[in-house]
Amino acid sequence: MNPGPARVAARAMSLASPERDRALARQVVVRRLLALDEAGSLETVHVWIAADRAGVSLRTVWRWLAVARDTGQVVAEPRRRVAFAFTDELWARLSDLGGNVKALHRWMEEHTGEVAPSLETGVLPSLTTLYHAVHCEQRTGRVLAISRPAHAHRIPERYDRALAELALPGTVDENGRSTAPAAENGAGEPDGAPDQASPPPLGHGVRLYVPGAHVVSTRQLGEVTEALAHTVAARGALCVYGDTGHGKTVALRQALRRLPRRVPVRHALVAVKPALPQLRAALLTAYGLSAPSLTNRTEAADRALLGALQQPGVLVIDDVQRIAAPELDYLRLLVDAPRTQTSLVLCGAGAERTLVRAPALASRILTWQHTPRLEAAQVPGVLRMFHPLWDTVTDADMRQADETCAHGNFRTWAKVTSHVYAALDRRSGTAADRALLTWACARLGPNP
């Protein structure tokens, strides 16, 4: 039975990204481990971290390293074709069943109508074929996501040092400091980090445009974190401003996540040019108050808001440039009340120009924090921490693309990464070189 073109295309799309991610992960971790091996500082903890970040077994990484030492090859060998290949959905089902192959085979027989059309052959495999397919998947390094206890105690200090030496994407910041604090057994993962084989292109609520990307802790992010901590401690107001795409919202969200848990954070979502009743409703909703019943009752709504603002915490309003001057003055009246203990954080592209129209509120801003574009010297290092595919691209090619297209705009670089990633998936054997970067930049239009 020959599968139709649509089924083959769907099959290729479902497998391309995970296989590509595993190949990129292998290239990155093997290069980093070889560098440590040549320096004479390779330890087992380095290999353990590399296996954990790549989503494969410890034995698989040792095998990768042995092949690289003998042949100098860091890319994956051609995958042996078997009569049956697992889809991501079936592999996830096997993980849910605790790795029980017989149970998976029974489930497939019970759901033949929905399982068979998704298979390349269109026919259910035998139990023997299923066992063989699982064995082949595990030999290539694919790991079942089954909870298992740690086999040994790991010293946190040693773990953090190994993280910094490996410098894998998503584990260290721009200065080489660990961003993945060790848990009690020293094997902790960064909270909410997108480290699966093919995760959705989101990190901490921020669109990253490409699977396998990581939010990067840059120097600009550190400055926002410091400014926010000072403002909250002083119970003041903070304005985070800068051009679009420079990472204001990303930096602010990361900074808010680093506040102590006892500090409540409220986000007010405002519409474009909201009238005073709409702004009041957004603030009431942020504090969990009854907006429908209080919106048009001015005195009762103001009393409720003033009461809520008496509690220490943070009120965040993003895209503050949407708010007109009279409504901004209403915010000033709220935060300027004698008993207000809440810190106000305003963020947006052009926020500093917006606040000029409300001088009374602007004069009460404790800290003005500008988020600049990435500097040319930062680009190569930041991109390699952002996604593994940049590990094989030269600094000169990245700087040339930044000078002609991205201009230090992180959002633009995220979109370029997405196009390069898709091109590498579609065209086997393609290298991420200057020609491919030029093509990806052209996909962003005349004004990227």
pLDDT one-digit tens code per residue, 29-67: 888 888 888 888 888 888 888 887 777 778 888 888 888
Q: What is the pLDDT of residue 26?
A: 76
Mean pLDDT for the stretch of residues 211-225: 85
Burial degree of 188 (CB within 10 A; 0-12, 13-18, 19+)? middle
Compare 195 and 350 and report the one with higher pLDDT: 350
Whether residue 434 has pLDDT greater than 80: yes
Q: What is the pLDDT of residue 165?
A: 65
Mean pLDDT for the stretch of residues 135-145: 71
What is the band of 177 on the pLDDT scale with cuts at 50, 70, 90?
A: low
Look at 172-176, 221-225, 393-397 and tell me which has the smallest mean pLDDT.
Answer: 172-176
Look at 185-189, 361-365, 426-430 and tell me which has the smallest mean pLDDT.
Answer: 185-189
Q: What is the pLDDT of residue 97?
A: 84
Compare 445 and 207 and report the one with higher pLDDT: 445
Q: What is the pLDDT of residue 441?
A: 92
* DSSP run (H or E) holding 435: helix 434-442
- Kindly report the average pLDDT of the chain as a whole number: 79
Number of helical (H) and strand (E) elements in the chain, helices listed first: 20, 7
Mean pLDDT for the stretch of residues 315-337: 92
Look at 187-191, 277-281, 370-374 and tell me which has the smallest mean pLDDT.
Answer: 187-191
Whether residue 81 has pLDDT greater than 60: no
b/e string for 92-116 if b means 16 or more Cβ within 10 A? ebbeebeeeeeebbebbeeeeeebe
Phi, psi of 356 (to 5 degrees): -60, -30
Residues forming a β-bridge with 314:
265, 343
Whether residue 197 has pLDDT greater than 50: no
Q: In whole angstroms, what is the distance from residue 76 CA to residue 73 CA?
A: 8
What is the band of 199 on the pLDDT scale with cuts at 50, 70, 90?
A: very low
Whether residue 171 has pLDDT greater than 50: yes
b/e string for 261-299 if b means 16 or more Cβ within 10 A? eeeebbebebeeebeeebbbbbbbbbbebebeebbeeee
Q: What type of residue is 265?
A: V
Q: What is the pLDDT of residue 201?
A: 46
Q: For the chain, what percent of residues have pLDDT higher than 70?
A: 76
First to last CA, the chain: 47
Q: In whole angstroms, what is the distance from residue 51 CA to residue 47 CA?
A: 6
Compare 93 and 239 and report the one with higher pLDDT: 239
Closest CA to 78 of 132, 136, 128: 136
Q: What type of residue is 393?
A: V
What is the band of 14 on the pLDDT scale with cuts at 50, 70, 90?
A: very low
> How would you classify residue 429: left for phi > 0, otherwise alpha for psi between -120 and 50, otherwise beta?
left
Q: For the chain, where do the domains classified as CATH 3.40.50.300 start and end?
A: 219-370
Q: Which CATH number fits domain 219-370: 3.40.50.300, 3.50.50.60, 3.40.50.2000, 2.40.50.140?
A: 3.40.50.300
Mean pLDDT for the stretch of residues 403-423: 91
- Residue identified by tokens 């998976």 is 104
What is the band of 211 on the pLDDT scale with cuts at 50, 70, 90?
A: confident
> How would you classify residue 63: left for phi > 0, otherwise alpha for psi between -120 and 50, otherwise beta?
alpha
- Residue identified by tokens 């077994």 is 57
Q: What type of residue is 375?
A: E
Q: In whole angstroms, what is the distance from residue 48 CA to residue 317 CA?
A: 42
Whether residue 9 has pLDDT greater than 60: no
Compare 433 and 191 and report the one with higher pLDDT: 433
Q: In whole angstroms, what is the distance from residue 252 CA to residue 222 CA?
A: 10
Mean pLDDT for the stretch of residues 13-36: 68
Compare 367 and 42 and report the one with higher pLDDT: 367
What is the band of 77 on the pLDDT scale with cuts at 50, 70, 90?
A: low
